[in-house]
Amino acid sequence: MDALALTPVCLRVAFSVDNLIGYIPVRFDDRSYVEEVARERKLKFTICLCSNCDIRMGELLIDNFKRLNQSNFSDYMLNRVNMLPNQTLVQTKPATTSRKTRLVPVKLSKEQLEILKDVLQQDCHALIEKSVGTGGTIVARRFFGTTEAGLIVKNINKICDRHDMEVVIGGEAFNGQIDTLMESMENYINDTRERIPELHAARNESTVLRDVSNTQRSTCENSWPETNPPRRTAPEEAKLKKAEIERMRAESKKRKEEIDHVEEMRKVQRLKIMSDVKGEYGMK
Protein backbone atom coordinates (compact mmCIF):
# COMPACT_ATOMS: atom_id res chain seq x y z
CA MET A 1 0.00 0.00 0.00
CA ASP A 2 2.94 2.34 0.56
CA ALA A 3 4.00 1.79 -3.05
CA LEU A 4 0.46 2.56 -4.24
CA ALA A 5 0.56 5.89 -2.43
CA LEU A 6 3.88 6.86 -4.00
CA THR A 7 3.80 5.40 -7.50
CA PRO A 8 3.49 7.92 -10.38
CA VAL A 9 2.28 5.32 -12.90
CA CYS A 10 -1.28 4.71 -14.08
CA LEU A 11 -3.23 3.35 -11.15
CA ARG A 12 -5.43 1.17 -13.35
CA VAL A 13 -2.38 -0.54 -14.78
CA ALA A 14 -0.80 -0.72 -11.33
CA PHE A 15 -3.84 -2.54 -9.92
CA SER A 16 -3.83 -4.91 -12.89
CA VAL A 17 -0.15 -5.76 -12.39
CA ASP A 18 -0.75 -6.22 -8.68
CA ASN A 19 -3.61 -8.64 -9.36
CA LEU A 20 -1.63 -10.62 -11.96
CA ILE A 21 1.84 -10.65 -10.43
CA GLY A 22 1.54 -9.38 -6.88
CA TYR A 23 3.32 -6.03 -6.65
CA ILE A 24 2.76 -2.34 -7.44
CA PRO A 25 5.10 -0.98 -10.17
CA VAL A 26 6.69 2.34 -9.25
CA ARG A 27 8.53 3.07 -12.53
CA PHE A 28 7.31 3.66 -16.06
CA ASP A 29 10.03 1.40 -17.50
CA ASP A 30 9.01 -1.54 -15.31
CA ARG A 31 8.71 -4.55 -17.64
CA SER A 32 5.38 -5.74 -16.25
CA TYR A 33 4.00 -2.21 -16.44
CA VAL A 34 5.11 -1.75 -20.06
CA GLU A 35 3.56 -5.09 -21.06
CA GLU A 36 0.24 -4.28 -19.38
CA VAL A 37 0.10 -0.85 -21.03
CA ALA A 38 0.72 -2.46 -24.43
CA ARG A 39 -2.03 -5.03 -23.77
CA GLU A 40 -4.59 -2.36 -22.85
CA ARG A 41 -3.74 -0.31 -25.94
CA LYS A 42 -4.10 -3.37 -28.14
CA LEU A 43 -7.54 -4.08 -26.65
CA LYS A 44 -8.48 -0.40 -27.03
CA PHE A 45 -9.18 0.32 -23.40
CA THR A 46 -10.84 3.64 -22.68
CA ILE A 47 -8.76 6.55 -21.44
CA CYS A 48 -7.92 6.16 -17.75
CA LEU A 49 -9.30 8.84 -15.42
CA CYS A 50 -7.15 8.11 -12.38
CA SER A 51 -5.44 10.95 -10.53
CA ASN A 52 -2.03 10.02 -11.97
CA CYS A 53 -3.19 9.99 -15.60
CA ASP A 54 -5.23 13.18 -15.30
CA ILE A 55 -3.74 15.27 -12.50
CA ARG A 56 -5.87 18.33 -13.29
CA MET A 57 -9.11 16.37 -12.99
CA GLY A 58 -7.92 14.94 -9.69
CA GLU A 59 -7.38 18.45 -8.36
CA LEU A 60 -10.82 19.58 -9.57
CA LEU A 61 -12.37 16.50 -8.01
CA ILE A 62 -10.95 17.44 -4.62
CA ASP A 63 -12.08 21.07 -5.06
CA ASN A 64 -15.65 20.01 -5.84
CA PHE A 65 -15.92 16.93 -3.66
CA LYS A 66 -18.58 18.37 -1.36
CA ARG A 67 -20.72 19.31 -4.34
CA LEU A 68 -20.78 15.79 -5.77
CA ASN A 69 -23.24 13.02 -4.99
CA GLN A 70 -24.22 9.61 -6.34
CA SER A 71 -26.39 11.18 -9.02
CA ASN A 72 -23.90 13.59 -10.58
CA PHE A 73 -20.53 11.90 -9.87
CA SER A 74 -20.48 9.88 -13.11
CA ASP A 75 -21.57 12.89 -15.15
CA TYR A 76 -18.79 14.97 -13.65
CA MET A 77 -16.06 12.41 -14.18
CA LEU A 78 -17.05 11.07 -17.60
CA ASN A 79 -17.67 14.49 -19.11
CA ARG A 80 -14.83 16.23 -17.27
CA VAL A 81 -17.08 19.14 -16.43
CA ASN A 82 -15.15 22.08 -15.02
CA MET A 83 -17.61 23.04 -12.31
CA LEU A 84 -15.93 25.57 -10.02
CA PRO A 85 -12.13 25.16 -9.93
CA ASN A 86 -9.96 27.05 -7.44
CA GLN A 87 -12.85 28.44 -5.42
CA THR A 88 -13.42 28.10 -1.72
CA LEU A 89 -16.07 25.56 -0.91
CA VAL A 90 -19.23 26.80 0.71
CA GLN A 91 -19.87 25.22 4.08
CA THR A 92 -23.19 23.40 3.93
CA LYS A 93 -25.43 24.44 6.82
CA PRO A 94 -29.12 23.93 7.48
CA ALA A 95 -31.17 26.73 6.01
CA THR A 96 -32.87 27.28 9.38
CA THR A 97 -29.65 28.66 10.87
CA SER A 98 -29.95 31.88 8.87
CA ARG A 99 -31.14 34.69 11.09
CA LYS A 100 -31.69 37.27 8.34
CA THR A 101 -35.17 37.87 6.98
CA ARG A 102 -36.57 40.15 4.33
CA LEU A 103 -37.69 43.59 5.44
CA VAL A 104 -40.80 43.16 3.30
CA PRO A 105 -41.96 39.50 3.59
CA VAL A 106 -42.87 37.72 0.37
CA LYS A 107 -46.46 36.51 0.45
CA LEU A 108 -47.32 34.13 -2.38
CA SER A 109 -50.16 31.67 -2.68
CA LYS A 110 -49.56 27.93 -2.77
CA GLU A 111 -50.15 27.89 -6.53
CA GLN A 112 -47.65 30.72 -7.07
CA LEU A 113 -45.01 28.93 -4.99
CA GLU A 114 -45.44 25.79 -7.08
CA ILE A 115 -45.00 27.84 -10.25
CA LEU A 116 -41.90 29.48 -8.76
CA LYS A 117 -40.34 26.05 -8.19
CA ASP A 118 -40.85 25.21 -11.87
CA VAL A 119 -39.44 28.57 -12.97
CA LEU A 120 -36.32 28.13 -10.82
CA GLN A 121 -35.68 24.66 -12.25
CA GLN A 122 -36.21 25.77 -15.84
CA ASP A 123 -33.88 28.76 -15.57
CA CYS A 124 -31.18 26.77 -13.76
CA HIS A 125 -31.42 23.88 -16.24
CA ALA A 126 -31.08 26.35 -19.11
CA LEU A 127 -27.86 27.70 -17.54
CA ILE A 128 -26.40 24.21 -17.07
CA GLU A 129 -27.27 23.15 -20.62
CA LYS A 130 -25.71 26.35 -21.93
CA SER A 131 -22.54 25.60 -19.95
CA VAL A 132 -22.07 21.95 -20.98
CA GLY A 133 -24.21 21.67 -24.09
CA THR A 134 -27.05 19.29 -24.85
CA GLY A 135 -27.19 15.73 -26.10
CA GLY A 136 -24.57 14.40 -23.69
CA THR A 137 -24.90 12.28 -20.59
CA ILE A 138 -25.23 15.23 -18.20
CA VAL A 139 -28.76 15.63 -16.87
CA ALA A 140 -29.37 19.09 -15.45
CA ARG A 141 -31.95 17.96 -12.91
CA ARG A 142 -29.30 15.86 -11.17
CA PHE A 143 -27.51 19.07 -10.20
CA PHE A 144 -30.64 21.11 -9.42
CA GLY A 145 -34.02 19.43 -9.00
CA THR A 146 -37.26 19.63 -7.07
CA THR A 147 -35.48 19.22 -3.72
CA GLU A 148 -33.28 22.30 -4.17
CA ALA A 149 -36.12 24.34 -5.67
CA GLY A 150 -38.34 23.33 -2.75
CA LEU A 151 -35.72 24.52 -0.25
CA ILE A 152 -35.57 27.92 -1.94
CA VAL A 153 -39.35 28.27 -1.88
CA LYS A 154 -39.53 27.11 1.73
CA ASN A 155 -36.90 29.65 2.84
CA ILE A 156 -37.80 32.44 0.42
CA ASN A 157 -38.09 35.04 3.18
CA LYS A 158 -34.66 34.09 4.55
CA ILE A 159 -32.83 34.50 1.22
CA CYS A 160 -31.60 38.10 1.17
CA ASP A 161 -28.36 37.77 -0.82
CA ARG A 162 -26.07 35.36 -2.68
CA HIS A 163 -24.63 33.90 0.52
CA ASP A 164 -28.09 32.97 1.78
CA MET A 165 -28.87 31.26 -1.54
CA GLU A 166 -25.61 29.28 -1.39
CA VAL A 167 -26.38 28.14 2.14
CA VAL A 168 -29.90 27.03 1.23
CA ILE A 169 -28.96 24.92 -1.82
CA GLY A 170 -25.68 23.66 -0.34
CA GLY A 171 -23.25 25.46 -2.66
CA GLU A 172 -22.85 26.48 -6.29
CA ALA A 173 -22.41 23.65 -8.80
CA PHE A 174 -21.83 25.74 -11.94
CA ASN A 175 -20.47 29.22 -12.50
CA GLY A 176 -23.33 31.71 -12.46
CA GLN A 177 -25.84 29.34 -10.84
CA ILE A 178 -26.40 31.47 -7.72
CA ASP A 179 -26.78 34.68 -9.74
CA THR A 180 -29.24 32.96 -12.07
CA LEU A 181 -31.35 31.65 -9.19
CA MET A 182 -31.36 35.02 -7.43
CA GLU A 183 -32.37 36.82 -10.61
CA SER A 184 -35.04 34.24 -11.41
CA MET A 185 -36.53 34.41 -7.91
CA GLU A 186 -36.53 38.23 -7.70
CA ASN A 187 -37.95 38.63 -11.21
CA TYR A 188 -40.78 36.26 -10.40
CA ILE A 189 -41.57 38.03 -7.13
CA ASN A 190 -41.52 41.47 -8.77
CA ASP A 191 -43.51 40.25 -11.76
CA THR A 192 -46.18 38.82 -9.48
CA ARG A 193 -46.43 42.07 -7.54
CA GLU A 194 -46.63 44.16 -10.71
CA ARG A 195 -49.40 42.06 -12.22
CA ILE A 196 -51.72 42.54 -9.24
CA PRO A 197 -50.67 45.95 -7.86
CA GLU A 198 -54.17 47.10 -6.98
CA LEU A 199 -55.34 44.07 -5.06
CA HIS A 200 -54.18 45.22 -1.62
CA ALA A 201 -55.17 48.81 -2.38
CA ALA A 202 -58.65 47.67 -3.35
CA ARG A 203 -58.99 45.70 -0.13
CA ASN A 204 -57.79 48.67 1.93
CA GLU A 205 -60.17 51.00 0.12
CA SER A 206 -63.05 48.66 0.76
CA THR A 207 -62.13 48.51 4.46
CA VAL A 208 -61.94 52.32 4.73
CA LEU A 209 -65.31 52.74 3.01
CA ARG A 210 -66.89 50.22 5.36
CA ASP A 211 -65.43 52.05 8.39
CA VAL A 212 -66.69 55.43 7.15
CA SER A 213 -70.11 53.98 6.41
CA ASN A 214 -70.34 52.48 9.90
CA THR A 215 -69.30 55.80 11.47
CA GLN A 216 -71.91 57.70 9.50
CA ARG A 217 -74.63 55.29 10.57
CA SER A 218 -73.71 55.63 14.24
CA THR A 219 -73.50 59.45 14.24
CA CYS A 220 -76.11 60.52 11.67
CA GLU A 221 -79.49 58.90 12.21
CA ASN A 222 -81.13 60.93 9.45
CA SER A 223 -78.48 60.44 6.76
CA TRP A 224 -79.50 60.11 3.13
CA PRO A 225 -79.75 56.57 1.81
CA GLU A 226 -76.73 55.49 -0.14
CA THR A 227 -77.65 55.46 -3.82
CA ASN A 228 -74.23 54.52 -5.24
CA PRO A 229 -72.58 51.93 -3.00
CA PRO A 230 -68.79 51.66 -3.34
CA ARG A 231 -67.67 49.37 -6.12
CA ARG A 232 -66.07 46.22 -4.78
CA THR A 233 -63.07 45.52 -6.97
CA ALA A 234 -61.40 42.89 -4.80
CA PRO A 235 -63.35 39.95 -6.31
CA GLU A 236 -62.50 41.15 -9.79
CA GLU A 237 -58.86 41.46 -8.90
CA ALA A 238 -58.97 37.99 -7.36
CA LYS A 239 -60.44 36.66 -10.61
CA LEU A 240 -57.65 38.33 -12.61
CA LYS A 241 -55.10 36.90 -10.20
CA LYS A 242 -56.54 33.41 -10.64
CA ALA A 243 -56.48 33.79 -14.43
CA GLU A 244 -52.85 34.91 -14.32
CA ILE A 245 -51.90 31.93 -12.17
CA GLU A 246 -53.63 29.60 -14.62
CA ARG A 247 -51.74 31.20 -17.52
CA MET A 248 -48.39 30.83 -15.78
CA ARG A 249 -49.25 27.26 -14.84
CA ALA A 250 -50.04 26.45 -18.49
CA GLU A 251 -46.73 27.95 -19.60
CA SER A 252 -44.92 25.98 -16.92
CA LYS A 253 -46.61 22.77 -18.06
CA LYS A 254 -45.63 23.44 -21.66
CA ARG A 255 -41.98 24.05 -20.72
CA LYS A 256 -41.99 20.88 -18.61
CA GLU A 257 -43.29 18.88 -21.58
CA GLU A 258 -40.49 20.28 -23.72
CA ILE A 259 -37.91 19.33 -21.09
CA ASP A 260 -39.37 15.82 -20.80
CA HIS A 261 -39.17 15.46 -24.59
CA VAL A 262 -35.50 16.46 -24.63
CA GLU A 263 -34.85 14.07 -21.74
CA GLU A 264 -36.48 11.22 -23.65
CA MET A 265 -34.36 11.98 -26.73
CA ARG A 266 -31.23 11.89 -24.58
CA LYS A 267 -32.27 8.57 -23.11
CA VAL A 268 -32.72 7.10 -26.59
CA GLN A 269 -29.34 8.50 -27.62
CA ARG A 270 -27.61 7.02 -24.58
CA LEU A 271 -29.16 3.61 -25.22
CA LYS A 272 -28.01 3.75 -28.83
CA ILE A 273 -24.46 4.65 -27.79
CA MET A 274 -24.41 1.77 -25.29
CA SER A 275 -25.74 -0.59 -27.94
CA ASP A 276 -23.08 0.52 -30.46
CA VAL A 277 -20.29 0.08 -27.91
CA LYS A 278 -21.52 -3.38 -26.92
CA GLY A 279 -21.76 -4.34 -30.57
CA GLU A 280 -18.23 -3.15 -31.25
CA TYR A 281 -16.85 -5.31 -28.43
CA GLY A 282 -19.09 -8.30 -29.17
CA MET A 283 -21.15 -7.88 -26.02
CA LYS A 284 -24.83 -8.64 -25.70
* pLDDT tens by residue, 208-245: 445 545 554 444 444 444 445 455 455 666 677 777 77
Contacts of 277 (CB under 8 A, 6+ apart): 283
Q: Cα separation of 59 and 4, whole Å?
A: 18
28 assigned to some structural domain? yes
Assess whether 34 and 168 both reside in one domain: no
Q: Cα separation of 195 and 245, whole Å?
A: 10
Count how many domains the chain has. Answer: 2
Contacts of 215 (CB under 8 A, 6+ apart): none
Assess whether 119 and 260 both reside in one domain: yes
Residue 243, pLDDT score: 76
Helix, strand and coil in the chain, % to nearest 5: 65, 0, 35
Neighbouring CB atoms inside 10 A of 116's CB total 23
183 assigned to some structural domain? yes
pTM attached to this predicted model: 0.43
Assess whether 45 and 117 both reside in one domain: no
Assess whether 95 and 41 both reside in one domain: no
Assess whether 96 and 175 both reside in one domain: yes
Assess whether 126 and 174 both reside in one domain: yes
Closest CA to 115 of 278, 244, 260, 282: 244
72 assigned to some structural domain? no
273 assigned to some structural domain? yes
Q: Which domain holds residue 42?
A: 2-53
Neighbouring CB atoms inside 10 A of 225's CB total 4
| 36-92 tens-digit pLDDT | 999 999 999 988 878 888 887 777 777 777 777 777 776 666 665 555 544 444 444
